[in-house]
Structure 1
Amino acid sequence: MKREDFLKKLEEMLISQIKIKINHGINHDLSNFSNQQQTNDVFSEKWSKYSHSQEKELLYEFQKKWYLELYGFDSEESLRGFLKNCDVIFDAGCGLGYKAAWFAQLAPHALIIGMDFSDSVKQASLVYQDISNLFFIQGDIANTNFKDNSFSYVSCDQVIMHTEDPEVTFIELARICKKPRGQVACYFYAKKALPRELLDDYFRSACTNMTNEELWAMSQQLTELGKRLSELNISFEAPDIPQLGIKGGTYDIQRFIYWNFIKCFWNVELGKETSIVTNYDWYSPSNARRFSENEVREIVKRNNLVVDFFHIEDACYSGRFINSSSELSK
């Protein structure tokens, strides 16, 4: 199919028509909610800065490998085989668009649409304008402007927590997912130990009054803290403290502080710039909701979806969820 054919298919899915120039269109670029707009501005700043990083390709490869693990695919070929049966794919909260481009390359027969509320979609549309089956729309993934049952596969990876009301956003993602046999893949931040949760909420609120320069400086300082703690190379046996949500066991000192008290991300393999951006990503946005496993499963159940695959790790819960009327495809 040619770009014109994919564009026609996209236009048929829209409730209200928007102007698409080559591979980019705008539903809306401003939010009526102050916290959401602040979050959008933070991510516009983040992606604008990181788009020039020499480290981003390393992050992209890391994220692709993690994506396979998060959503139950043994390999890239396994994902390719899954996408072979999808004709329209939605990357909800696409950022710089590298995962949407990945989907487009793995499924050249399918229409791929990436959407983000930040200005990152403008950069993505320029970088990937030669991929004929890939389009980017700036807009709210909680109000997509797509008709019911539009997408075979809806992927919302590491994004839903940053929307104004994640439950409402999930309802929208389920609405636009095809019935039957459509699937929604979604990642949810996991709640951490009580000291970390209390500090995160208090500190995030304080961060809303900081300038971008102050936020970047703080992110560099947190990265340096994580680096110095990691370089101590000290492990110890922590006691189990259930009332605080602190799990007992052997910890590296940096990871113990990271999981239980304050996010001070450092990854020598991904690099300094990526570590700084990761810390900026955490404390700068107003919207960054965390969930328990029961809360995630309840959200899925309330939307009449069933679990096809569910993943648990300290950082998150993630999975692929299908309509209860569809056939499980394990």
Structure 2
Amino acid sequence: MTTSSTQQQTSDAFGYKWARRDSYESPAVRDASRAWLLSRYCGGDAAVLDAWLAGGPKTILDAGCGAGFSALLLFGERLRDHDYVGVDISSAVEVAAQRFAEAEIPARFMRADIATVDLPPASVDLLFSEGVLHHTDNPATTLRHLAGLLRDGGRALFYVYAKKSVVREFTDDHIRQQLMPLSDAEAWAALEPLTKLGIALGALEGTIDVPEDIPLLGIPKGSYPLQRFFYWHVCKAFYRADFSVDEMNHINFDWFRPANCHRQTPEEVRAWCTAAGLEVETLRVEEAGMTVVARRVSAGATYV
């Protein structure tokens, strides 16, 4: 498997991150993540998942499965009734296999680059790629390849990062570059003071009022808790009161460590889908990113 230097570094980072199981497997992290996934993809209604998977066993491709974290949370016990295939470029695929085995859920795993993964065309019913495309060398071409694996009418579910305000974009890239010469363990340790700053900011009361939009900085008007203003418009320093320091550091590491970390606009994401032969059903835009549910279409076809 030949990869670029940035893709290799990104692969190594995620192999390291997902091996630290104590930083993401607590009930607090799993409950929060499950609720966020269900809200973004299904509007909080699990019956939507059942409708997508109705009509007999489906083939589910988890493109960039990591440790299988998101698939296990979103689909859960439903996976027992379907053919789940997890693909990841990193060693995290071994952690995923272990976690699925512990849950006694059958699955197949491949260590491969999702941009070129060798699966038969039109062999997948549901493509799931949660927070992965932006970590590839070219998200648009990766999506085109993956969409070609979908059967006509099959769905693609994916999440990608959104572009942030001006100062936040600058500090994100600055920190990412500062971490590049470090080992993964050193980068994890280097981020701990930033994580602790997020905790200190989260403990503060009070808000800041931005009276008018500031187009020069990409900051919209509004009232912000102090930590959230810093988080969205100065520098990502994640905070959640029910998470441990390591759990918060895991989230910061996930953001800052990978060399491949593309950010997109909604217009760019819609263009990707069109080029890939996908018809967007929903595109949910939030400050952090965009969640897409799209369907593979063929000329003249109508799907219900």
| TM-score where L is the length of structure 1 | 0.85
Letter paired with 2:86: G
Separation in 1 of the partners of 2:79 and 2:18?
26
* Correspondences of 1:117-156 after superposition (within 5 Å): 117-129=89-101, 131=104, 133-156=106-129
**Do the aligned partners of 1:104 and 1:134 also contact (CA within 8 Å) in 2?**
no
Change (3 A) 1:214 1:53: closer
Shift of 1:52: 3.1
Partner of 2:275: 302
Change (3 A) 1:165 1:56: farther
Change (3 A) 1:265 1:132: closer
Describe the superposition over 1:27-76 as per-residue Cα deviations: whole angstroms up to 9, x where unpaired.
x5xx4200000011111111112x13474343223222211222234422
Partner of 2:69: 98
Partner of 1:270: 243
| TM-score where L is the length of structure 2 | 0.91
1:76 aligns to 2:76 (yes or no): no
Letter paired with 2:268: E
Q: State the Cα RMSD in Å.
A: 1.9
Partner of 1:291: 264
Partner of 1:38: 9
Shift of 1:186: 1.1
- Within the candidate set 166, 175, 183, 1:194 is matched to 166
SS of the residue corresponding to residue 307 of structure 1 reads strand
Separation in 1 of the partners of 2:254 and 2:34?
19
Separation in 2 of the partners of 1:111 and 1:321?
20
Partner of 2:82: 110
Separation in 1 of the partners of 2:44 and 2:159?
18
Stretch of structure 1 that moved more, 261-270 or 32-41: 261-270
Separation in 1 of the partners of 2:24 and 2:69?
15
Separation in 1 of the partners of 2:67 and 2:184?
20
Partner of 2:181: 209
- Within the candidate set 49, 64, 67, 2:37 is matched to 67
Separation in 2 of the partners of 1:183 and 1:118?
25
How many residues are paired up?
298
**Do the aligned partners of 2:162 and 2:263 also contact (CA within 8 Å) in 1?**
yes
**Do the aligned partners of 1:92 and 1:155 also contact (CA within 8 Å) in 2?**
yes
Instruction: Quote the sequence identity (%).
Output: 31
Change (3 A) 1:81 1:304: closer
Shift of 1:122: 0.8
Change (3 A) 1:287 1:190: same
Shift of 1:324: 3.0
Partner of 1:87: 58
**Do the aligned partners of 2:42 and 2:48 also contact (CA within 8 Å) in 1?**
no
Change (3 A) 1:219 1:328: farther
Give the gaps of 5 or more residues in structure 1: 1-27
